[in-house]
Amino acid sequence: MAGRQAGNPEAAVKRRQRLLSLERQYPRYLVVSLLPVLVMPWANIDGPAPQRLVIPLVLSLLVLQSLRTLPSTVGGGRAHLSDQWFRALGLAVLLTTWLSFLTRSVGVLPLLYMQLASLFLILSAYRLLRLLAVAPRVNLAVLSAAAAGYVHLGITGGVMATSIEMLHPGTFTSGQFGNHVELLDRLFYMSYVTIASLGYGDVLPTNALGQRFVILLSLTSTMYMSLVVGLLLGRYLSSRPPEPAQPEELP
């Protein structure tokens, strides 16, 4: 792929322009990624309409902004097919989320939307890393995308932990909750405590499945920080103009 682009300057210029045009979406992506974390305390599936709609609204905003911000980085028909699958998965998440909350369903439907949301968030994280890897420059917009990736990682961990808990109750010592929204709020907290290496110990894995999940989440957060810092620092240093040689360095 890189060889074909190197031999086609026009395609390389178009790709660069496309990546630069995406930069204005990155700050919005960071804001939308923060919304689920900030508004979760006001969500209540059994409360009045505004409280019931908090989660589907913020998750819908996150899905829609992800679809706008995270196109495929490959070219040709492969990119079109990849984007189609990504959009289809996002629409499936939107549909199951709203059906679950509007009908106040319990059991299979909330579990289905948690599973679909987990897959969508994992793919979104992968696409974001791909975009950061090919970013043509490092500026505040790109740094906001990197920060959004860290916030996104906590959301992904919380949704996946909730999905695991719904499949295997008792995997985490999360207490007794009346619905999956309260459980999601609690496991969001556990996810961010884990990736921040705080380790308060108030929500713990109780079996091998939960322990392996927490280990993977912790490793993923460490690898994400290492990869992003390496990518952005390398891109920043390579884009700086060379400094003039000092007189003592000249032959």
**CA–CA dist 127, 196 (Å, integer):** 23
Q: How confident is the model at residue 2 (pLDDT cuts 50, 70, 90)?
A: very low
Residues 93/116, Cβ–Cβ less than 8 Å: yes
Summarised one tens digit per residue, pLDDT across range 133-186 is 888 888 888 899 999 999 999 999 999 999 999 888 889 986 666 667 788 888
Measure Cα distances from 27 to 141, 149, 224 in Å. Answer: 6, 12, 19
Find where tokens 């028909």 sit.
77
Exposure string for 186-199, b = 16+ CB within 10 A, e = fewer: bbbbbbbbbbeeee
Say which residue the tokens 């499949």 belong to.
167
C-alpha dist (Å) from residue 106 to 39, 99, 176:
22, 11, 16
pLDDT of residue 1: 47
